[in-house]
Structure 1
Amino acid sequence: MFVDATLVLTSGVGCAIGYHLAAGGVVGKADVYAAGSLLAAVNFILLIVVQQGYRLKTITDLTRTFRMTAATWTGLFGALLAVAFAMKVSDEFSRGTTISFYLVGLAVLLIWKAVAARWISRALRTGAFANSRAVMIAESGLPASSSTMLDLAQHGYRLMRIMEIRSSELESPRLFSTIAPRFEELIAYAREHRIEHVFLLMSWSRQHAIDTTLDALKILPIPVHLVPDANAARFLRYPLQSAGNTWTAELRRAPLSWKERTLKRIFDLAGASVALVVFAPVMLVTALLIKLTSQGPIFFRQTRNGFNGHAFKIFKFRTMRVLEDGPTIVQAQKNDPRVTGVGKWLRKTSIDELPQLFNVLRGDMSLVGPRPHAAAHNTEYEQIIGNYAFRHHVKPGITGWAQVNGYRGETKKLELMAKRVEFDLWYIDNWSVWLDVVILLRTSVLSFVQPNAY
């Protein structure tokens, strides 16, 4: 927090002084800019605190931290400018200083966040934050096979002692009387060494053992934590939801809420409209080249499956001498003789995909989402890849998370398609407008530097 505040304050005052010296040779209203920078620093910190941005887990998640920092800084600037305009004090701040403050402030914050994430990640690995003294009561064999000990050591807990109990003892109805001396010894140890936490690592099905342990430890005024066993842990990774007085692990979320679908649709309409205006000259030249260099229509239409499996006709610039659309379709391969001379260039640069902007405007597709496959391939992969059908929980996209991670073009092996599906499902579970923006930006670069579509 202190470093964030210092960087924001220094950026604001530094940009004000630097800009005014460069523009007019005078410092200007340094006190006004200092007050504005302090206001921005305080509000930025408060907004990050509300989003739990200063927790170790968040700081070390660089993607989330970058997204949070950029969104918060941009939103804060917009809000402060609106307030300044409404209060008629915007004339006190020059546009040059304001713009430079936004850009410089964002840049230094992102650089600092990257440095902090690397430093704290290294510190966590070495146990630098393991200051809370703790003991563990565990079922024999579990500590050695569990990542819990390492995770606790990396996130603030120093395991001073581990008391292991054999499985046969845990199953005994006379557990307390059997190991009472060991409990007494552990309690004495906890008092002597000022232990602050007790962790239980045993199967959650051993309810009698858990209750007995809690009863034995009730004399200690410290918290007792039950660590999830292997079976429970894999379910508790999912978000916990409240259903009345009951808590549930949401094993499969609805793909997108109606608010998220509305937001994504607005983004698609705006993006597709702008893209059509920007790429109109390219599309016109492409249409002329196709018409002049080969016989056949300019556009190629093929049946694909979209949201909820709904069939639609996808638009592409024609790049082949054939127009396949039926139960048997052969994927394009390297040096495929069916591809025209112009088509080879169009496919490598992905210009052949531009007509799909019309599919986006029609609502069949989205700018970003799982790539739709030909209906024949779709039916085939649904039979052999278990999670394949989940790709239809959102609209298909012109580009997607799988494509910007290298899974683009021909899929010769089943493993490649399975990997593509894995990336598609990750996208569905982690969708955000910011993720769509990142994918579009990466697509615009990768289409030229890493062409692997044939």
Structure 2
Amino acid sequence: MKRLCDVVVASVLLLLLSPLLLVIALVIRWSDGGPVFYRAPRVGLRGQPFRMWKFRTMVQHADQLGGPSTPDGDPRVTPVGRWLRQHKLDELPQLFNVCGGTMSLVGPRPEVQHYVDLYSEEERVILTVRPGLTDWASLWNIDEGALLKGSPDPEKVYLETIRPVKLRLQLAYVRQRSFGTDLRILLHTAIALARGKGARPLPLIVEKGV
């Protein structure tokens, strides 16, 4: 049932948003002549690797110029990319992943292999569900770039401060997942995008099952 809903909703959204997707693609191409999309390597269901589609927001070969954490003001992010990230529009191509079956509308955000290798046995349960476009952790961490901004070591901040809370929220989702939970997350996501900020009290709310 969830898979059917994913395909139907993602297909409808792709159809409705196709003019916007085309405009964004043309602007990216015009801005620096580089590729429109970036296919980010991620780990999905049952630990299987896949490529997650995103609009390219960074200079070409950015992965060779710095680490995986991207604070606000990172010089690798292009002017167009900065605007796309601010409005979360760079994530729209992941609707193709949803249609293709490597992602769901709602589920733990997929991580790179480096971070998955750090999972404890308990945390590996996250890999038993299909990764998603949004989840409780995404809502709590919608402004990750701002949290990392100004840090001399963004990777350390991510690993020691952000990642532990993300994992708690992802585990909470896996334990509590249901059709109703997914609807709540989608509603909160729409509100967060409209407000332009997430919800810091979420860890307590989710873990108490409110």
TM-score (norm 2): 0.80
Structure 1 segments, 4+ long, off by >6 Å, are none
Name the structure 2 match of 1:364: 102
Whole-Å separation in 2 of the counterparts to 1:300 and 1:387: 31
Name the structure 1 match of 2:177: 431
Deviations 1:15-54 (A, max 9, x none): xxxxxxxxxxxxxxxxxxxxxxxxxxxxxxxxxxxxxxxx
Whole-Å separation in 1 of the counterparts to 2:63 and 2:133: 19
Deviations 1:89-147 (A, max 9, x none): xxxxxxxxxxxxxxxxxxxxxxxxxxxxxxxxxxxxxxxxxxxxxxxxxxxxxxxxxxx
* Residue 311 (str. 1) matches residue 57 (str. 2): no
Name the structure 2 match of 1:280: 18
Residue of structure 2 aligned with 1:402, choices 115, 119, 137: 137
Give the stretch that moved more between structures: 439-448 or 337-346: 439-448
Whole-Å separation in 2 of the counterparts to 1:267 and 1:377: 30
Name the structure 1 match of 2:37: 299
1:319 and 1:339 in contact (8 A); partners too:
yes
Secondary structure at 1:314 match in 2: strand
1:360 Cα deviation after fit: 0.6
Amino acid at match of 1:429: R
Map 1:92-241 → 2, pairs under 5 A = none
Whole-Å separation in 2 of the counterparts to 1:408 and 1:399: 13
Secondary structure at 2:110 match in 1: coil
Amino acid at match of 1:303: P
TM-score (norm 1): 0.39
Over aligned residues, Cα RMSD in angstroms? 2.1
Whole-Å separation in 2 of the counterparts to 1:440 and 1:321: 31
Q: Flag structure 1 segments of 5+ consecutive residues without an equivalent.
A: 1-262
2:36 and 2:56 in contact (8 A); partners too:
yes
1:291 Cα deviation after fit: 0.8
Whole-Å separation in 2 of the counterparts to 1:438 and 1:368: 10
Q: How many residues align?
A: 186
Secondary structure at 2:52 match in 1: strand
Q: Flag structure 2 segments of 5+ consecutive residues without an equivalent.
A: 149-156, 199-210
Name the structure 1 match of 2:125: 390
1:348 and 1:447 in contact (8 A); partners too:
no
Name the structure 2 match of 1:446: 192
Whole-Å separation in 2 of the counterparts to 1:451 and 1:291: 29
Deviations 1:377-402 (A, max 9, x none): 333x32xx563322111011011111
Max radius of gyration: which structure? 1
